[in-house]
Amino acid sequence: GSVRLQGGKSEFEGTVEVYLNGIWGTICGSHWDDNDATVVCRQLALGEKGTAKHIPFSGLGIIPVYWSEVHCRGDEESILLCEKDIWQDGTCPQKMAAAVICSSSLAPVITPIRLAGGNNAHEGRVEVYHAGQWGTVCDDQWDDADAEVVCRQLGLGGVGKAWGQAHFGEGSGPVLLDEVRCTGNELSIEQCPKSSWREHNCGHKEDAGVSCMPLTDGALRLTSGKGSHEGRLEVYYTGQWGTVCDDGWTELNTQVVCRQLGFKYGKSAPESHSEGSSGPIWLDDVSCSGKETNLLQCSRREWGKHDCNHQEDVRLICHPDNDSHKVSLGPPIRLMDGENKKEGRVEIFINGQWGTICDDGWSDKDAAVVCRQLGYKGPARARTMAYFGEGKGPIHVDNVKCTGNERSLADCIKQDIGMHNCRHSEDAGVICDHLSKKVRGNSNKDSLASVCGLRLLHRRQKRIIGGRNSLRGGWPWQVALRLKSSHGDGRLLCGATLISSCWVLTAAHCFKRYGNNTRNYAVRVGDYHTLVPEEYEEEIGVQQIVLHKDYRPDSSDYDIALVRLQGPEEQCARFSTHVLPACLPLRRERPQKTAPNCYITGWGDTGRAYSRTLQQAAIPLLPKRVCEERYKRRFTGRMLCAGNVQEQKRVDSCQGDSGGPLMCERPGESWVVYGVTSWGYGCGVKDSPGVYTKVSSFVPWIKSVTKL
C-alpha cells in the first residue's frame, strides 16, 4: 500500500510504484492525469502540485501492473482511496506506465540590479541593466513590497524599505521601469507586474531607492499574503527566516505581533491553501498576555523546539486602524488537544485565565458559532464528554445556548461565569470544517480489499507519541466485542482485530462467561470514544463463533477464536479510512526479527474503569525465557511474551484489552497482528510480563476456518 517514485532525475519525479503483496508494481497510464499525480505528490510530501507523465513500459523491465483507470478527485489523502480498477491482464493502451513530477516553481532569468548613491552597501538608488545599459526605476507605485524583492535579489536579506523622490540622489541614463507592483514574494524584480521597458511618465526627480536594514534575531515579517500586512508569520533567527507554529496561538498573540509590525489591530487568518514554507519552524507554544511590545517577551518554547509541520504555520492579517474591525467578539477562544488545528476542546480566556466549557446542552449550533468565530466556514460538529481530553483550570461556562447565528460565543452565554455543576470529564469540544464520510462506489472496495495493515491516517501522528490516547482512525482494525443487553446499549467485553470484511480474531476466553450463543454479542467497528457515536462506527451482528478445538477453559493454551460477522460473503464491515483489516503473519514468522515496532491497543481494563477513548501503548517483545522463568510450565510455544519489565515504564495489557491485538509494523509500512492479548498476572505488576497467543502458530487454522 505504500508508494514510491523510481527512476527520476531527482526525488521529485519518477515512475509511480505501489507496494502490494510484498512486491513493488506500476500503474497503467491510461486516464492518468494531474489530479492523480497531485495525490501522489502530497502523499509523499513532495509538493502541493503534481504533473502527470507517462513512461513506456519497455524501459521498466519486468514488473507487475497493479491498477489501471485511476480517477482521483485530487483531495484524497492517499492514492489507495481513489477510484480505480484492479488490473486484469488486458492491454494497457499506449503501453505507458503512470509517472509524476512534483513541482516547486523554477527560477526565471534574472535582470542585473545594483544600488547607487547610498552611504553603505545596504541602501541606494535602484539601477537595473537592460539592453546594454544601466538605468533607474520611477517611484510610481513603489512600496516596501518592491523594496523587499530588490533586497532579496541582491542577497541583502534584511527588512526592505522603499524610498521615493530621488532620496539617494538623481540618477543619469534612461528611466527603464515604472509602475512596479511586486507582492513581495518574488525572487527578482523581473517577476513583478510592471510597465514595459522605457515606458514611463517620469523624470529623475522620481528615482526609486531602497534600504535593506540588516536583521536582528526576533525580527518579524508577514509573507505570501496580498501585501506586507497579511500572510504567514515569519521570525528571523541566526540568519534565517522561519515560521511560528499555531499550537496554543490566540488573538492576544496576534495583537502583539501586529503592534510590533506597526499596525494597531489584527486577527488570525483562516487557513488558506497557499504554498507552505520550507524553512525551519522557529517558535511553538507561544503565549502572550497582550501587553508585550515584542513577541520574544511572550512565553514560548526555545528556538527550534516544536512538534509541528508547516500546515500549522501561523497566518495573520493586521489592520492599520480599528474602525471597521473593532467589533469586539468578546473573550478570546482557542481549541486544544485536537489532532489538527480545526478541532479540539474549546477553551475561553476570562479574568486572565484559560478555562473550559461544560457540555450541558452543548450542540452543533454552539459548535457552529465557535467555528465561525475562529474563521472556519465549513460544517461544525459538537463533541461532548471530554472527547478531546480533560482540560485544566476553571470551568468558566455552562449551559451555552446558541441559535447558531451569533457573531461570537460570548453572545450565547446566558448564566454567570464560573457557575456550573460539572467536572472536567464533561469538557465540550468541536470539530470545524467537518468532512462527512463520503460513501464510495464499489471500485474502492476492491482496492482496499487487497491491502491490509495500512494506517491511512498515520501522517497525523503528531500529538500522541508517548501519549496514551490513540488517534481517531489510527488503528482501523481495532474492533470491540460487545455484550448485547436486553436493556439498552450493552457493554464492552473484549477487544478484537478485523482480519477481513467478515472475520474478526479474538481470544477464546472471551466467550467463557457468556457462552457461544451468537445472539449475545455484537461487534463494533470504527469506534474511538465508546460513548460518542461517530460516523465511521458500525455495530454488526455475529453469525458464527469458532473457538479453537484444543482450547480448554481451565488452561490458557490455544486461547484464540474467530468470529464471523453477519453479511454476504466478504461484504460485512464497510471499509473506510477508519475501518481496515490488519495483516496476518506468515506461518512461523518471528516478529523480533522482522518488526521491532510493536503496540497494543484497547479501551483498557474492561472492569469498571475502562477508558472512553481508544488507548495505545508501545510494548517491547521479550525473549521467551523471561516468561518461562516467571510462569514455568504455563507458558507454551504457542504464546508470545511482551511488556516492560522495568518498574517505571509499566505497560502491559491493562491498557490493551483481552482479545485485542498486539501488532507490529513490518518494514514497508504494513501492520501485522502477531499476538492476541491472553493473560498475565495482574496489571502492570513488576516482573509480570503479559502473555499473548502467538498468531503465527495458528495461521493454517485461521486460513482453514475463514477460507481467506
Residue 278 annotated in active site: no
Nearest CA-CA partner of 475 in 704, 685, 655, 695 = 655
Backbone angles phi, psi at 677, to 5 degrees: -60, 120
Residue 658 annotated in active site: yes
Cell readout for 578 is 477508519
Phi-psi region of 386 (alpha: psi -120 to 50; beta: other; left: phi over 0): left
The angle at the Cα of 575, spanning 668 to 618, to the nearest 5 degrees, equals 45
SS3 assignment for 582-599: CECCCCCCCHHHHCCEEE
- Contact of 516 with 665, CB cutoff 8 Å: no
Query: Which amino acid makes up residue 700?
Result: P
Full DSSP string of 209-273: EEEEEPP-TT-EEEESSSSTTEEEEEEEETTEEEEEB-TT--HHHHHHHHHHTT-SEEEEPPP--
Please count the other Cβ atoms lying within 10 Å of the Cβ belonging to residue 547.
19
Cβ-based neighbours of 282, under 8 Å, separated by 6 or more: 235, 237, 242, 243, 244, 303, 304
Q: Active-site residue among 306, 396, 509, 529?
A: 509
| Residue labelled with grid coordinates 471597521 | 324
| Residue labelled with grid coordinates 507519541 | 465
Cell readout for 688 is 509480570
Cβ-based neighbours of 605, under 8 Å, separated by 6 or more: 654, 683
Q: Active-site residue among 268, 658, 678, 697?
A: 658
Provide the edge-to-edge strand list for the sheet that holds 670-679.
615-618, 597-602, 661-666, 670-679, 690-694, 639-642, 621-622
Size of the chain in residues: 708
Q: Active-site residue among 557, 559, 652, 657?
A: 559
Backbone angles phi, psi at 648, to 5 degrees: -70, -20
Rounded Cα distance, 421 and 285, in Å: 31
Measuring CA to CA, how many Å separate 131 from each of 173, 197, 264? Answer: 13, 10, 45
| Residue labelled with grid coordinates 526627480 | 205
Radius of gyration of the chain from its Cα atoms, rounded to whole angstroms: 30
Rounded Cα distance, 516 and 521, in Å: 9
Paired strand residues for 469: 615
Return the exposure string of 264-275: e unless at least 16 CB atoms fall within 10 Å of the residue's CB, then b: ebbbbbebeebe
Q: CA torsion, points 515, 517, 518, 519, in degrees to nearest 10? A: -110
Rounded Cα distance, 607 and 610, in Å: 6
Rounded Cα distance, 609 and 596, in Å: 31
Cell readout for 267 is 486577527
Residue 529 annotated in active site: no
Catalytic positions? 509, 559, 658
